[in-house]
Chain A
Amino acid sequence: MAGSSDGAESERRQVLVVDDERPIRRFLRAALTAAGHDVLEAGSVAEALAICPTARPDALILDLGLPDGDGLEVIRRLREWSAIPIIILSVRGQETDKIAALDAGADDYLTKPFGAGELLARLRAALRRVKVEPSASVLTFGPTVIDLAGHRVTVNSQEIHLTTTEFALLRVLAQHQDRVLTHRQLLRLVWGPNYETETHLLQVNISNLRRKVEPEPLHPRLIVTEPGVGYRLRSAGV
């Protein structure tokens, strides 16, 4: 089960879908409606920026390849006044665009073609962020329990010794559970802004962390690699 569960994911939400392709909007509408949400549609940057302030949707699903501008533009403009969860849609091979969007404030991404299951899972995770209790001090992910206040981690009730850095890394991932964090974001959050390009530090620590925390380090279940983008801590059911 996910940490700090509060039933947020079962509420009815209003989701704005922004994509210039009608078939995509159609399938998203079908999937989201089936999951119990209301759907608004927009086909361009202009439309999206017009709808958001008035309709105030609860979440945004945004295609990066819009005809009249950059999806990045939408993210930047929205982030000036809104913390609305944003999930971007992009195609394979556009890693730099995805990373830029995530660094600019998007919460997660989906690579076309994707399935409805993935979409709904990421939407749930993104919506959950809004409701996380700031005072949650113990996070549980299957056999792994993270005690933030006590700086302890146990797996199957056995204490695991982590270095300070390893713990910080795990904490950051856990606090963003089920949401992707780019390399840059992780480095900034764990080491500081001057370390944003020190990817090898991240690699080494992720590797060590996995060896200590994952039952099968070569089949990571908890700490998942997002190829070319970053990492995600995956709670069960995602």
Chain B
Amino acid sequence: MTTEPGPDREPRPAAGGVPYLAYLKSLGLVAVVTVLGRTVLSRVHPINLVMFYLLVVVISSLSWGRGPAVLAAAAGVLAFDFFLIPPFLSLAVHDVEFVITFAALLAVALAIGTLTARLREQAVVARRREAETAALLAFSRRMLGARQWEEIVAAAVQHLGESFGREVVVLLPEKGHLTIAASTGRFKLDDREMAAAVWTFAQGRPAGRGEATLPGVRGLYLPLQTARSIIGVLAVRGSDAPPLTAEERHLLEAFTAQVAVAMERAQLYEEARQVQVLAEADRLRQAILGAISHDLRTPLASIIGSLSTLTGEGTRLDDRTRGDLIETAREEAQRLNQLVGNLLDISRLESGTLKLASDWYDLRDAVATALERKAPQLQAHPVRTALPDDLPLLQMDYVLIVQVLVNLLENAAKYSPPGGEIEVRARDTGQAVEVAVLDRGQGVPAGEWDRVFEKFYHVGGKRAVGGTGLGLAICRGIVELHRGSIWLRPREGGGTVVTFRLPLGRAAEAGESGGGQQRRG
């Protein structure tokens, strides 16, 4: 909370200006000087006391303003004459020269009084300006700190509400209508008020109380205007407060301009950020296209090479070579097919267009399908499974989970030595089912355990083993679509364990109660 005084923190003047007390005080000072004068009258010539009355006038004007100063001047002259100039207790004078003194005293007193009063007024104004500037600075700092427009308007209404002691509301356009974006609470807009707000927004000029347009309306509506456009309306209403003074109005407009600027800044910041995001995405896309281009062209080169050799040299080749070439073309085509599939998968996952075709499925069925599909690659690797019989049914997209298992098995086979055993384990943790694929391969260095799940990532940065590095990224995408998680850890005794976790739905109950079928343990 800032502590700078607002424009109306000073005591409000009574009707007529300065409080009555001030007049009394200046009279008091005159009295004091008169009394002092009486006491030293025997030793000091009365003419010397003139300065003291001037002093009283200066003090009065500096402390209380012009009115009390004028009173002090007049009262001073009268008191001087009455009490300190013979004949005492009479306004008549023996020495006519004193009349000049009186006139001079009065004139100088009034002049000094007026000048010092002006000085004082200027000082008051200067202090007020200073307070306003401090308030503006504090407000502006607060606006600067806010990044989102919601913060800005909320801070604005709160700050302005406190500073001006009134209800404040900010209206912003939403879907073609002005709606309240922030308010200090009790400001409700009826049709008339809303009409004023709408007018202000459309015309970009103030309306409402104290204005030329719609003066009968209770609130004052100011446009939030930037160099580019009108972005909203700020409204102020004091239920029983008098209308704003010119200075207050000026200050309010300054604040309003701050709010508008802050909002424009927030908007521009957001636009800049978007541009940056797009630029980054573009850069990434270029890099990916480069990698993909290479990965697609390599098998194609083999295919075209093999087939063109067959067509060109066909008759000159022996059967075995011909067979090899055809087989090469077929294998490379399969590889290309898989690559294309991976690219489509990752693309769909990234763009969020992949929708789960979820239903109750048996995980062991999925494992069996994955093992079947990878049978050729797994020929060199004995596979062990540890899948409990009472594993509950899971809500999952069968095809996608098979894909996950296929990718994990592929990795296990790729990175395992020939004859290296591969294991698939599953367990029910109560909340979820955890499936792990284990191998005795070369393992993944520490520090890369999470990075392997990134797109196009190859362990150790090498592309030696072939493949695009998308397999694990696809696994993660699919598992996360199922609200699960996947992680990689080294295996005790060497190798790698990749585990993924699929949360259980209501599968457990459904499996047991389904149609009265028994599940044998």
Interface membership of B361, Cβ < 8 A: yes
Query: In the assembled complex, which residues on chain B have CB atoms less than 8 Å from the CB atom of A183?
Result: 359
Given contacts A95-B357, A225-B369, contact A206 B514 (CB under 8 A): no
Q: Which of B362, B364, B402, B507 contacts A227 (CB 8 A)?
A: B402
B359 touches A199 (CB 8 A): yes
A165 touches B515 (CB 8 A): yes
A204 touches B514 (CB 8 A): yes
Shortest Cβ distance from residue A163 to the other chain B in the assembled complex, whole angstroms: 7
Interface membership of B53, Cβ < 8 A: no
| Interface positions of A from 121 to 173, Cβ below 8 Å from B | 163, 165
Shortest Cβ distance from residue A200 to the other chain B in the assembled complex, whole angstroms: 4
Which of B360, B385, B507 has the largest number of chain A CB atoms within 10 A? B360
Q: Which of A93, A95, A198, A220 contacts B514 (CB 8 A)?
A: A198
| Interface positions of A from 184 to 238, Cβ below 8 Å from B | 191, 198-201, 203-208, 211, 217-220, 225, 227-228
A204 touches B387 (CB 8 A): no
Alpha-carbon distance between A25 and B105 when the two chains are bound, in angstroms? 123
Q: Which of B337, B369, B372 contacts A113 (CB 8 A)?
A: B337
Given contacts A92-B341, A93-B344, A200-B511, contact A206 B519 (CB under 8 A): no
Alpha-carbon distance between A204 and B397 when the two chains are bound, in angstroms? 17
Query: In the assembled complex, which residues on chain B have CB atoms less than 8 Å from the CB atom of A199?
Result: 359-361
Given contacts A208-B517, A225-B369, A227-B402, contact A200 B360 (CB under 8 A): yes
B393 touches A200 (CB 8 A): yes
Interface membership of B12, Cβ < 8 A: no
Alpha-carbon distance between A92 and B403 when the two chains are bound, in angstroms? 12
Alpha-carbon distance between A45 and B239 when the two chains are bound, in angstroms? 75
Query: In the assembled complex, which residues on chain A have CB atoms less than 8 Å from the CB atom of B151?
Result: none
In the complex, number of A-B residue pairs with CB atoms less than 8 Å apart: 73
Interface membership of A10, Cβ < 8 A: no
Alpha-carbon distance between A228 and B514 when the two chains are bound, in angstroms? 21
Interface membership of A54, Cβ < 8 A: no
Interface membership of B520, Cβ < 8 A: yes
Closest to B354 in A: A93
Q: Which of A200, A201, A205, A218 contacts B364 (CB 8 A)?
A: A218
Interface residues in B, total, Cβ within 8 A: 32
Query: In the assembled complex, which residues on chain B have CB atoms less than 8 Å from the CB atom of A165?
Result: 515, 517
Interface membership of B325, Cβ < 8 A: no
Alpha-carbon distance between A93 and B385 when the two chains are bound, in angstroms? 28
Alpha-carbon distance between A218 and B405 when the two chains are bound, in angstroms? 14
Alpha-carbon distance between A110 and B137 when the two chains are bound, in angstroms? 73
Alpha-carbon distance between A183 and B361 when the two chains are bound, in angstroms? 11
Query: In the assembled complex, which residues on chain A have CB atoms less than 8 Å from the CB atom of B357?
Result: 95-96, 228
B371 touches A218 (CB 8 A): yes
Query: In the assembled complex, which residues on chain B have CB atoms less than 8 Å from the CB atom of A228?
Result: 357, 397-399
Alpha-carbon distance between A220 and B397 when the two chains are bound, in angstroms? 20
A200 touches B385 (CB 8 A): no
A95 touches B399 (CB 8 A): yes
Alpha-carbon distance between A214 and B337 when the two chains are bound, in angstroms? 32
Shortest Cβ distance from residue B405 to the other chain A in the assembled complex, whole angstroms: 11
Q: Which of A201, A208, A227 contacts B399 (CB 8 A)?
A: A227
A200 touches B507 (CB 8 A): yes
Given contacts A92-B341, A227-B369, contact A201 B514 (CB under 8 A): yes
Interface membership of B150, Cβ < 8 A: no
Query: In the assembled complex, which residues on chain B have CB atoms less than 8 Å from the CB atom of A217?
Result: 364, 368
Shortest Cβ distance from residue A188 to the other chain B in the assembled complex, whole angstroms: 14
Alpha-carbon distance between A185 and B387 when the two chains are bound, in angstroms? 29
Give 18 CB contacts A-B under 8 Å: A93-B344, A163-B517, A199-B359, A200-B360, A200-B393, A200-B507, A200-B510, A201-B515, A204-B511, A204-B517, A205-B517, A208-B517, A208-B519, A218-B367, A218-B368, A220-B368, A225-B368, A228-B357
A-binding residues in B (CB < 8 A): 333, 337, 341, 344, 357, 359-362, 364-365, 367-369, 371-372, 385, 387, 389, 393, 397-399, 402, 507, 510-511, 514-515, 517, 519-520
B-binding residues in A (CB < 8 A): 92-93, 95-96, 113, 163, 165, 183, 191, 198-201, 203-208, 211, 217-220, 225, 227-228
In the A-B complex, the 7 residue pairs with the smallest Cβ-Cβ separation, listed nearest first, are A200-B360, A228-B399, A201-B515, A199-B359, A200-B510, A200-B514, A201-B514
- Identify 16 new A-B residue pairs, CB closer than 8 A, beyond the known A95-B399, A198-B514, A207-B364: A92-B341, A113-B337, A199-B360, A199-B361, A200-B360, A200-B514, A203-B362, A203-B393, A204-B514, A204-B517, A211-B520, A219-B372, A220-B368, A225-B368, A227-B399, A228-B398
